[in-house]
Amino acid sequence: MKIIIAGAGEVGYHLAKQLSSEEHDITVIDVDQNILSRTDSSTDVMTLHGSSTSIKMLENANVEETDLCVAVTSSEAININTAILAKRMGAKKTIARVNNGEYVNPKNTDVFRSLGVDNMVYPEELAAIEVVKLIERAAATDILDFEDGKLSLLGLKLDRGVPIIDRTLKQIAAEYSSIDFRIVALHRGFQTIIPYGDDIFRPNDQLFVISKSEGMEKIIQLTSKDKKKLNNIMILGGGKIGRLVAKMLEKKIDVKLIESNHDKSVELADYLEESLVIHGDGRDLDLLAQEGIIDMDGFVAVTENAETNIITCLMAKHLGVSKTIAQVDNVDYIALTQTIGLDSLINKKLIAANSITRFIKKSNVVATASLQGIDADIFEFIARDGSKITKSKIKDLKFPKNAIIGGIIRGGEGIITVGDTQILAEDKVVVFALPGAVSDVQKFFN
């Protein structure tokens, strides 16, 4: 597939990294030579220095032969104009990143399609949905659903004293054989590992488990002491993400939202129907105490300042809050935050990049996704008739060592795979792979 990416910022850069390993023909356009150089040096793509709203620049990128133009600069206007121009000049499909929630309202999408913008990505809404999912499944650090939840990948951090600590994968599989799940990876320190039978699980390991919906509660009971449903949460930051999270949750649980800007606090009080809006500085420990932080089940920090979000979540954790979620838009912080006691983090730019990959369908890849701070990718392949993956049972395939098949979706039903599983043509296959194994994995599906 020939793809143009307009914008080499964090969204464009991570999108280019995700797609460049899949043999796409990718051209990245940006006006900033410095960030363009980073993309050029670390990905196998062609870069063009200039404006994506320049007709000449789009011609240089061969837009008339392009299958997809993705506009993800920091400017909403540039993204929309780029998509419109690209579509009129021959691009088959376009996607634009937007900052206005009104634009992604279903009743308005036809207006943009008539102009040439086929799809729009609103990172703040995607991030808010991610936060809500993490609150609704309180013990999870990461959640990724396949086929509307027929299979789910859960990230779960191991507390001291839970049943599987100091046990091997082989022992766990034997003892809990009645539960339909598969542990596909663990993250320890700064390393992601595909576990095998003799690997032992330690406190603070982060596990990634594939399960069907009916097995999720049992998995959470095995892997975490924090099984409590969150009934009271405090949100720090009344920006786009904070207000969306409050709006989505306020009819289900009790929500307090703290915002430091007075005018924005007044606006939020009018916008939110049942949430309690508090004007104040969420970094003030006395304020948090007065507002009952010790009685909170969850604390969500989504200000525009990553340091504030990290520090306040650590304060909340110290005060006994069971679940903390921080927005961390500085990608360099992601690996660090998982070693200092944060439960979950969100990065709206990586979430947006992951969302865009779901629009991009290769011959046998339905979707790809990345987990924040984890050096691995999740792929959903379609097994084609005659492909190597259908030739033998999984245990006889000699599948790459740094990859693992977690489950399949067959006829609308999720199935957790084991060694004796035989993959059939047209099965959708969920694979967890470290970077060095991706090209070898793809050979099994060609």
Which residues, in sequence order, are CB contacts of 58 under 8 Å at separation 6+? 4, 52, 82, 85, 86, 89
Let me know: does 144 contact 369? Beta carbons within 8 Å.
yes
Give the tens place of pLDDT for each residue, 78-95. 999 999 999 999 999 999
CATH number of the structural domain spanning residue 197: 3.30.70.1450
101 lies in the same domain as 146: no
Q: What is the DSSP string of 84-134?
A: HHHHHTT-SEEEEE-S-GGGGSGGGHHHHHHHT--EEE-HHHHHHHHHHHH
From 190, 223, 256, give the residue that closes a domain. Answer: 223
Give the pLDDT score at 365: 55
From 223, 240, 268, give the residue that closes a domain. Answer: 223
Radius of gyration of the chain (CA): 23
443 backbone dihedrals φ, ψ, rounded to 5°: -65, -30
Give the tens place of pLDDT for each residue, 187-202. 887 788 888 888 899 8
Give the pLDDT score at 236: 96
Give the pLDDT score at 53: 97
In angstroms, the Cα distances linking 164 to 54, 156, 159, 323 are 58, 12, 10, 21
Which residues, in sequence order, are CB contacts of 180 under 8 Å at separation 6+? 211, 212, 214, 215, 416
CATH number of the structural domain spanning residue 41: 3.40.50.720
Give the pLDDT score at 390: 94
Let me know: does 71 contact 83? Beta carbons within 8 Å.
yes
Let me know: does 78 contact 52? Beta carbons within 8 Å.
yes
332 lies in the same domain as 274: yes
Which among 399, 383, 390 has a CA at the least distance from the CA of 434?
399
Give the pLDDT score at 388: 93
Give the pLDDT score at 21: 66
Low-confidence residues of the chain: pLDDT under 50: 362-364
306 domain residue, yes or no: yes
Give the pLDDT score at 76: 96
Give the pLDDT score at 424: 94
Give the pLDDT score at 363: 44
Whole-structure pTM value: 0.76
244 lies in the same domain as 207: no
What is the number of domains present in the chain?
Answer: 4
In 316-420 the beta strands, taken as DSSP E runs, fall at: 323-327, 344-346, 365-370, 377-382, 403-410, 413-416
Domain that holds residue 414: 376-443
144 lies in the same domain as 82: no
Give the tens place of pLDDT for each residue, 217-229. 778 777 765 556 7
Give the pLDDT score at 206: 84
Let me know: does 246 contact 220? Beta carbons within 8 Å.
no
149 lies in the same domain as 186: yes
426 lies in the same domain as 339: no
Q: In this structure, how many other beta carbons lie within 10 angstroms of the beta carbon of residue 411?
A: 8
369 domain residue, yes or no: no
Give the pLDDT score at 93: 93
Distance CA 439, CA 274 (A): 50
Let me know: does 380 contact 146? Beta carbons within 8 Å.
yes
285 lies in the same domain as 308: yes
Q: Tell me how far apart the terminal alpha carbons of the chain are, to the nearest angstrom.
A: 16
329 domain residue, yes or no: yes
Which among 426, 404, 408, 424 has a CA at the least distance from the CA of 416?
408
